[in-house]
Amino acid sequence: MSPTGFASMAVPVYLSEVSPVEMRGRITVVNNIFITGGQVISAIVSGIFSEVAMGWRYMLGLAGLPALLQLIGSAFMPESPRWLISQGRDPEAMQVLEKIRPKDANLMNEIELMKAALADDSKQRGLREVLSSAPVRQALLIGSLLQLFQQISGINTVMYYSASIITMAGITDKSLAIWLSAATSSMNFFGTFLGLWLVERLGRRSLTLGSLLGTMLSLFVMALTFQIAYINSPRVNFPNSDSHECFADS
């Protein structure tokens, strides 16, 4: 079991709790920029070692270095002020805010807002009470369906198996296919910058709807392209069983 799943869950929550409200959306997108940037770097490293004998071993070994740096860096991360306040450790929360906020920030007001938010959260204790609210149920359903459709849309398949897909498209050079997959990762990386620029201008809802429309069109074009390639590809005829038997008898 890889701890990547724990980090994928904890990092966005941590960023949302330590970032100022007015910068929360952009900071969350920055997290995605580093994720997609890491995919580009890994694709480039794979391209470099694609022509090295047993290069896949070097690819797997080098992946441990960023994990080690992340482990070391995590030891110097401040605790979430919101979590400290929830544990009754207000002085420590103030010390953390003094480190990560500008000197002219109203820290006492921010702490009071955190306490008010925690007080609202404590009013609904059980899952049944939370789901009894119609707006909460609607938000939970929409958020869950967005995550579900994001996965079953096949984006991870396209990203993880892009080299294989490129090979299926007719690129016979495996090293070239890996380098072209790095170009695919680069498009994903630069597209994240576009989202960073648009998230505070168009709003979350408009950006989400536009992204879903773009995903639908992209998958449709890719499926149509593969279908056209399948129709126009030369037919491959395999010998039947009788031919095998005749060949064996001869």
For 158-197, the pLDDT digits (tens) are 777 788 878 877 777 888 888 888 888 888 888 888 877 7
The answer on pLDDT for 137 being more than 70 is: yes
Domain-located, residue 149:
no
Reported confidence tier of residue 239, pLDDT bands at 50, 70, 90:
low
Domain-located, residue 17:
no
pTM to 2 decimal places: 0.64
Domain-located, residue 215:
yes
The whole-angstrom separation of Cα 131 and Cα 138 is: 9
The whole-angstrom separation of Cα 141 and Cα 90 is: 35
**CB distance 82 to 96 below 8 Å:** no
Domain-located, residue 208:
yes
Domain-located, residue 227:
yes
Q: What is the count of structural domains for the chain?
A: 1
pLDDT tens, 205-225? 888 888 888 888 888 887 888
Reported confidence tier of residue 123, pLDDT bands at 50, 70, 90:
low
Host H or E run for residue 7: helix 4-18
The whole-angstrom separation of Cα 224 and Cα 226 is: 6
Domain-located, residue 218:
yes
Domain-located, residue 197:
no
Mean pLDDT, range 50-71, rounded to an integer = 82
Reported confidence tier of residue 9, pLDDT bands at 50, 70, 90:
confident
The whole domain housing 215 covers 203-234
Mean pLDDT, range 33-41, rounded to an integer = 85
The answer on pLDDT for 1 being more than 50 is: no
Structure tokens at 7: 């980090």
- CB 137: neighbour CB atoms within 10 A? 12
The predicted pLDDT at position 144 comes to: 85
Longest CA span, the chain: 93
Amino acid at the residue 243: S
The predicted pLDDT at position 33 comes to: 84
Host H or E run for residue 124: none
Domain-located, residue 96:
no
